Amino acid sequence: MRFLASAHTDIGISKKVNQDAFGLKIAKTPRAGIAFGFLCDGMGGLKNGELASALVINAFSSWFENEFPPLMENGVDLNSIQSRWNEIAYELNQKIINYGRSKGFALGTTLTGLLIIEDKYLFIQIGDSRIYRINNTISQITRDHSVVAMEVEKNRLTKEQAKTDSRKNVLLQCVGASESIVPDFEIGIVRENDVFLICSDGFCHEVSEEEMYGILASNLMSGEKIMKKCLIDLVELNKSRNEKDNITAMLLKAIK
Protein backbone atom coordinates (compact mmCIF):
# COMPACT_ATOMS: atom_id res chain seq x y z
CA MET A 1 0.00 0.00 0.00
CA ARG A 2 0.90 3.63 -0.45
CA PHE A 3 -1.02 6.57 0.92
CA LEU A 4 -2.52 9.89 -0.02
CA ALA A 5 -2.73 12.25 2.95
CA SER A 6 -4.06 15.67 3.81
CA ALA A 7 -4.91 17.69 6.92
CA HIS A 8 -6.56 20.96 7.89
CA THR A 9 -7.02 22.79 11.19
CA ASP A 10 -8.98 25.94 12.01
CA ILE A 11 -9.25 28.01 15.18
CA GLY A 12 -12.99 28.38 14.60
CA ILE A 13 -15.30 31.35 15.01
CA SER A 14 -15.07 32.10 18.73
CA LYS A 15 -11.92 30.79 20.44
CA LYS A 16 -8.74 32.80 20.85
CA VAL A 17 -6.40 29.80 20.80
CA ASN A 18 -6.39 26.63 18.72
CA GLN A 19 -6.00 23.89 21.32
CA ASP A 20 -6.08 21.13 18.71
CA ALA A 21 -2.76 19.62 17.67
CA PHE A 22 -1.94 16.88 15.20
CA GLY A 23 0.81 14.94 13.47
CA LEU A 24 0.70 13.28 10.06
CA LYS A 25 3.59 11.13 8.88
CA ILE A 26 4.03 9.02 5.75
CA ALA A 27 6.96 6.65 5.22
CA LYS A 28 8.00 3.93 2.81
CA THR A 29 10.31 1.00 3.47
CA PRO A 30 11.25 -1.99 1.28
CA ARG A 31 8.82 -4.02 3.38
CA ALA A 32 5.80 -1.75 3.69
CA GLY A 33 4.06 1.56 3.22
CA ILE A 34 3.43 3.34 6.52
CA ALA A 35 1.04 6.11 7.58
CA PHE A 36 0.63 7.57 11.06
CA GLY A 37 -1.98 10.17 11.94
CA PHE A 38 -2.51 11.34 15.50
CA LEU A 39 -4.68 14.10 16.91
CA CYS A 40 -5.27 15.77 20.28
CA ASP A 41 -8.04 18.16 21.31
CA GLY A 42 -6.79 20.08 24.32
CA MET A 43 -8.96 21.29 27.20
CA GLY A 44 -8.19 23.97 29.78
CA GLY A 45 -8.33 27.73 30.23
CA LEU A 46 -6.13 30.12 28.24
CA LYS A 47 -3.26 28.13 26.70
CA ASN A 48 -3.41 25.20 29.11
CA GLY A 49 -5.24 22.92 26.69
CA GLU A 50 -2.82 23.87 23.95
CA LEU A 51 0.05 22.82 26.21
CA ALA A 52 -1.53 19.44 27.01
CA SER A 53 -2.22 18.60 23.37
CA ALA A 54 1.27 19.68 22.30
CA LEU A 55 2.92 17.51 24.97
CA VAL A 56 1.06 14.41 23.78
CA ILE A 57 1.66 15.10 20.09
CA ASN A 58 5.37 15.63 20.71
CA ALA A 59 5.62 12.36 22.65
CA PHE A 60 4.01 10.28 19.91
CA SER A 61 6.00 12.07 17.23
CA SER A 62 9.17 11.21 19.15
CA TRP A 63 8.05 7.57 19.39
CA PHE A 64 7.57 7.39 15.62
CA GLU A 65 10.90 9.02 14.82
CA ASN A 66 13.06 7.27 17.41
CA GLU A 67 11.48 4.01 18.57
CA PHE A 68 9.57 2.93 15.48
CA PRO A 69 12.41 2.62 12.89
CA PRO A 70 14.21 -0.21 14.74
CA LEU A 71 10.89 -2.07 14.97
CA MET A 72 10.56 -1.94 11.19
CA GLU A 73 14.01 -3.44 10.78
CA ASN A 74 13.22 -6.38 13.05
CA GLY A 75 9.60 -6.97 12.05
CA VAL A 76 6.59 -5.15 13.43
CA ASP A 77 4.35 -6.64 16.10
CA LEU A 78 1.26 -4.46 16.45
CA ASN A 79 0.46 -5.99 19.83
CA SER A 80 3.85 -4.84 21.13
CA ILE A 81 3.21 -1.36 19.74
CA GLN A 82 -0.15 -1.34 21.48
CA SER A 83 1.55 -2.14 24.79
CA ARG A 84 4.10 0.62 24.26
CA TRP A 85 1.42 3.15 23.36
CA ASN A 86 -0.43 2.22 26.53
CA GLU A 87 2.74 2.92 28.54
CA ILE A 88 3.28 6.27 26.82
CA ALA A 89 -0.34 7.32 27.43
CA TYR A 90 -0.08 6.37 31.13
CA GLU A 91 3.19 8.28 31.51
CA LEU A 92 1.73 11.36 29.81
CA ASN A 93 -1.38 11.20 31.96
CA GLN A 94 0.69 11.29 35.15
CA LYS A 95 2.98 13.99 33.80
CA ILE A 96 0.12 16.31 32.88
CA ILE A 97 -1.74 15.65 36.14
CA ASN A 98 1.38 16.47 38.17
CA TYR A 99 2.07 19.59 36.11
CA GLY A 100 -1.49 20.86 36.59
CA ARG A 101 -1.33 20.26 40.34
CA SER A 102 1.98 22.13 40.60
CA LYS A 103 0.50 25.12 38.77
CA GLY A 104 -2.92 25.04 40.41
CA PHE A 105 -5.05 24.50 37.33
CA ALA A 106 -6.58 21.64 35.36
CA LEU A 107 -5.70 20.71 31.80
CA GLY A 108 -6.11 17.69 29.60
CA THR A 109 -6.48 16.42 26.07
CA THR A 110 -8.08 13.74 23.98
CA LEU A 111 -5.82 11.36 22.08
CA THR A 112 -6.69 9.57 18.87
CA GLY A 113 -3.97 7.89 16.80
CA LEU A 114 -3.99 5.62 13.75
CA LEU A 115 -0.97 3.67 12.52
CA ILE A 116 -1.26 1.85 9.17
CA ILE A 117 1.43 -0.60 8.10
CA GLU A 118 0.73 -2.05 4.64
CA ASP A 119 -2.69 -3.73 5.04
CA LYS A 120 -3.13 -3.53 8.84
CA TYR A 121 -4.00 -0.73 11.22
CA LEU A 122 -3.81 -0.04 14.93
CA PHE A 123 -5.63 2.77 16.66
CA ILE A 124 -5.58 4.24 20.16
CA GLN A 125 -8.56 6.18 21.47
CA ILE A 126 -8.97 8.32 24.61
CA GLY A 127 -11.75 10.92 24.68
CA ASP A 128 -14.15 12.00 21.96
CA SER A 129 -12.06 12.77 18.91
CA ARG A 130 -12.93 10.24 16.22
CA ILE A 131 -11.80 7.98 13.39
CA TYR A 132 -14.19 7.26 10.54
CA ARG A 133 -13.63 4.62 7.87
CA ILE A 134 -14.95 5.49 4.42
CA ASN A 135 -15.27 3.18 1.45
CA ASN A 136 -18.63 2.04 0.12
CA THR A 137 -20.12 3.49 3.33
CA ILE A 138 -18.98 5.65 6.23
CA SER A 139 -18.65 4.26 9.75
CA GLN A 140 -17.20 5.56 12.99
CA ILE A 141 -14.69 2.95 14.17
CA THR A 142 -13.76 4.61 17.46
CA ARG A 143 -16.00 4.94 20.50
CA ASP A 144 -16.55 8.31 22.19
CA HIS A 145 -15.56 8.33 25.85
CA SER A 146 -18.32 10.75 26.78
CA VAL A 147 -21.38 10.79 29.01
CA VAL A 148 -23.82 11.15 26.10
CA ALA A 149 -22.20 8.31 24.14
CA MET A 150 -22.58 6.09 27.20
CA GLU A 151 -26.23 7.12 27.49
CA VAL A 152 -26.82 6.29 23.82
CA GLU A 153 -25.17 2.87 24.27
CA LYS A 154 -27.52 2.19 27.20
CA ASN A 155 -30.54 3.33 25.16
CA ARG A 156 -31.27 6.20 27.53
CA LEU A 157 -30.70 8.78 24.77
CA THR A 158 -31.11 8.71 21.01
CA LYS A 159 -28.30 9.99 18.80
CA GLU A 160 -30.43 13.02 17.97
CA GLN A 161 -31.07 13.79 21.65
CA ALA A 162 -27.36 13.43 22.38
CA LYS A 163 -26.55 16.27 19.99
CA THR A 164 -28.40 18.80 22.14
CA ASP A 165 -27.95 17.26 25.58
CA SER A 166 -26.37 19.63 28.12
CA ARG A 167 -23.74 16.96 28.95
CA LYS A 168 -22.51 16.53 25.36
CA ASN A 169 -19.06 17.95 26.18
CA VAL A 170 -18.55 15.94 29.38
CA LEU A 171 -15.85 13.30 28.90
CA LEU A 172 -15.48 10.08 30.86
CA GLN A 173 -11.71 10.14 30.41
CA CYS A 174 -8.96 12.21 28.82
CA VAL A 175 -5.20 12.44 29.14
CA GLY A 176 -4.20 14.63 32.10
CA ALA A 177 -7.64 15.09 33.66
CA SER A 178 -8.46 11.51 34.68
CA GLU A 179 -6.80 9.76 37.60
CA SER A 180 -6.77 6.59 35.53
CA ILE A 181 -7.16 6.07 31.82
CA VAL A 182 -8.13 2.96 29.87
CA PRO A 183 -7.47 3.54 26.17
CA ASP A 184 -9.39 1.71 23.50
CA PHE A 185 -7.25 -0.15 20.96
CA GLU A 186 -8.15 -1.99 17.78
CA ILE A 187 -6.13 -3.90 15.21
CA GLY A 188 -7.82 -4.32 11.84
CA ILE A 189 -7.40 -4.88 8.11
CA VAL A 190 -7.01 -2.07 5.56
CA ARG A 191 -8.59 -2.55 2.15
CA GLU A 192 -7.54 -0.84 -1.04
CA ASN A 193 -9.23 2.59 -1.40
CA ASP A 194 -10.13 2.77 2.27
CA VAL A 195 -10.20 6.38 3.44
CA PHE A 196 -9.66 7.11 7.14
CA LEU A 197 -10.89 10.40 8.58
CA ILE A 198 -9.35 11.43 11.92
CA CYS A 199 -11.05 14.46 13.43
CA SER A 200 -11.65 16.49 16.56
CA ASP A 201 -15.25 16.68 17.77
CA GLY A 202 -15.65 20.17 16.31
CA PHE A 203 -15.58 18.63 12.84
CA CYS A 204 -18.68 16.50 13.37
CA HIS A 205 -21.01 18.50 15.63
CA GLU A 206 -22.82 20.34 12.84
CA VAL A 207 -22.23 18.03 9.88
CA SER A 208 -23.94 14.66 9.49
CA GLU A 209 -22.24 11.42 8.48
CA GLU A 210 -24.26 11.50 5.26
CA GLU A 211 -22.88 14.95 4.43
CA MET A 212 -19.34 13.81 5.21
CA TYR A 213 -19.75 10.81 2.95
CA GLY A 214 -21.15 12.92 0.15
CA ILE A 215 -17.98 15.00 0.10
CA LEU A 216 -15.36 12.44 1.22
CA ALA A 217 -16.48 9.29 -0.64
CA SER A 218 -13.46 7.20 -1.60
CA ASN A 219 -13.93 7.55 -5.35
CA LEU A 220 -13.85 11.35 -4.99
CA MET A 221 -10.55 11.38 -3.06
CA SER A 222 -8.34 11.19 -6.17
CA GLY A 223 -5.51 13.45 -5.05
CA GLU A 224 -4.15 15.33 -2.08
CA LYS A 225 -5.20 18.76 -3.39
CA ILE A 226 -8.79 17.56 -3.73
CA MET A 227 -8.65 15.98 -0.27
CA LYS A 228 -7.43 19.27 1.21
CA LYS A 229 -10.19 21.26 -0.50
CA CYS A 230 -12.84 18.85 0.73
CA LEU A 231 -11.61 19.13 4.32
CA ILE A 232 -11.67 22.92 4.08
CA ASP A 233 -15.19 22.84 2.62
CA LEU A 234 -16.45 20.71 5.52
CA VAL A 235 -14.71 22.91 8.10
CA GLU A 236 -16.28 26.00 6.55
CA LEU A 237 -19.67 24.26 6.54
CA ASN A 238 -19.33 23.59 10.27
CA LYS A 239 -18.41 27.23 10.89
CA SER A 240 -21.33 28.48 8.81
CA ARG A 241 -23.60 26.47 11.13
CA ASN A 242 -22.13 28.24 14.17
CA GLU A 243 -19.73 25.53 15.39
CA LYS A 244 -17.72 27.32 18.09
CA ASP A 245 -14.98 24.77 18.78
CA ASN A 246 -11.57 24.42 17.16
CA ILE A 247 -11.84 22.13 14.14
CA THR A 248 -9.18 19.70 12.88
CA ALA A 249 -9.36 16.81 10.43
CA MET A 250 -6.98 14.50 8.58
CA LEU A 251 -7.51 12.11 5.69
CA LEU A 252 -5.51 9.01 4.81
CA LYS A 253 -6.33 7.01 1.67
CA ALA A 254 -4.79 3.59 1.03
CA ILE A 255 -3.99 2.86 -2.62
CA LYS A 256 -1.96 0.24 -4.47
pLDDT in tens, 163-176: 888 888 889 999 99
Query: Do 114 and 36 contact (CB within 8 A), yes or no?
Result: yes
Provide the domain limits for residue 234: 2-144+172-255
Residue type, 151: E
Q: What is the pLDDT of residue 8?
A: 98
- Please state, as a whole number, how many other Cβ atoms lie within 10 Å of the Cβ of residue 2: 14
Number of domains comprising the chain: 1
CA distances from residue 208 to 21, 94, 214, 224, 234 in whole angstroms, order as listed: 23, 36, 10, 23, 10
Q: What is the pLDDT of residue 255?
A: 94
Q: Is residue 107 part of a domain?
A: yes
d(CA 238, CA 251): 17
Q: What is the pLDDT of residue 248?
A: 98
Segment (H or E) for 199? strand 195-199
Q: What is the pLDDT of residue 74?
A: 78
Q: Quickly list DSSP for 1-52.
A: -EEEEEEEEE--SS-SS--EEEEEEEEE-SS-EEEEEEEEEEESTTTHHHHH
Q: Is residue 149 part of a domain?
A: no
Query: Do 63 and 87 contact (CB within 8 A), yes or no?
Result: no
Q: Is residue 160 part of a domain?
A: no
Q: Is residue 21 part of a domain?
A: yes
Q: Is residue 167 part of a domain?
A: no
CA distances from residue 187 to 79, 82, 114 in whole angstroms, order as listed: 8, 9, 10
Segment (H or E) for 248? strand 247-255
Q: Is residue 164 part of a domain?
A: no
Our measurement of the distance from residue 88's CA atom to the centroid of its chain's CA atoms, rounded to an integer in Å, reads 16
Query: Do 119 and 94 contact (CB within 8 A), yes or no?
Result: no
Residues of the chain with pLDDT under 70: 45-47
For residue 137, the domain's CATH number is: 3.60.40.10
Gyration radius from the chain CA atoms: 18
Q: Is residue 179 part of a domain?
A: yes
Q: Is residue 157 part of a domain?
A: no
